A and B are shown apart, each in its own frame.
Chain A
Amino acid sequence: MEVSHSVKERTIAENSLVILLQGLCNRVTTVELRDESTASGRVTNVDAFMNVRLAEVTFMDRQGTLCHLDELFVTGRNVRYVHIPDDVDIRATIEQQLQAIHRVRYFGGRDKGRKEFPRTKH
């Protein structure tokens, strides 16, 4: 369960469906790109902007040429679809990711640690 180190990325992820993609880490999926090429491989990381890092990838371009890659980085803007494996429980995955973020946010207890969103003083 890797949570991003950046507050900005955490809030973006927390408020959108990218968080489901982040929960797909270490699963083998197929990512279809905007230009109709596809990349099948194990997801190693997804950030809040939907940039995807894959490992052990089979990349098929628009013409149908296959190519095997150890690692592949896809820019978020170029993603069209992400196939979700059948054995994924979507609700549970999202909840697990949100819990991981909350654990990071409340680290150190109520009065210790850095506050991400400080309580307003009246």
Chain B
Amino acid sequence: LYLNFAKDNKLASFLQAYDQHLNMILGDVEETVTTIEIDEETYEEIYKSTKRNIPMLFVRGDGVVLVAPPLRVG
């Protein structure tokens, strides 16, 4: 399951539980944080990505932007 968060954070994990506010409990979470850095001289945009793994996480519904099934390759 993929979740897209506010402020360019993505979470990929197994959804264990949810409620009507979209608070969720996720198992086996892989969080990807994407930041864009702008080079002062050349004004190029450099995309930086950091990943993090968390075994079990409770997420507040406020921050959830998008929930989607896993992308199928091919």
Q: Is the CB of A17 within 8 A of B57?
A: no
How many A-B residue pairs lie within 8 Å, measured between CB atoms? 53
**Residue B41, interface by CB 8 Å:** no
Looking at chain A's contact residues, the main secondary structure is mixed
Contact (A86, B56) CB under 8 Å given A16-B19, A77-B62: yes
Q: Is the CB of B23 within 8 A of A84?
A: no
**Residue A34, interface by CB 8 Å:** yes
The number of chain B residues with a CB under 8 A from chain A is 18
Looking at chain B's contact residues, the main secondary structure is strand
The number of chain A residues with a CB under 8 A from chain B is 20
Q: Is the CB of A83 within 8 A of B54?
A: yes
Q: Is the CB of A84 within 8 A of B25?
A: yes
Q: How far is the CB of B3 from chain A (nearest CB, A)?
A: 12
Q: List 28 A-B contacts (CB under 8 A).
A: A15-B19, A16-B19, A16-B20, A16-B23, A17-B18, A17-B24, A17-B58, A18-B23, A20-B58, A34-B62, A34-B63, A50-B60, A80-B60, A81-B58, A81-B60, A82-B57, A83-B54, A83-B56, A83-B57, A83-B58, A84-B56, A84-B57, A84-B58, A85-B56, A86-B56, A90-B16, A90-B17, A90-B56
Chain A interface (Cβ within 8 Å of chain B)? 15-18, 20-21, 34, 50, 76-77, 79-86, 88, 90
Please name 12 further chain A to chain B contacts, defined as beta carbons within 8 Å, in addition to the given A17-B23, A50-B60, A80-B62, sorted by A numbering: A15-B19, A17-B19, A20-B17, A20-B58, A21-B58, A34-B63, A80-B59, A81-B60, A82-B57, A82-B60, A83-B57, A84-B58
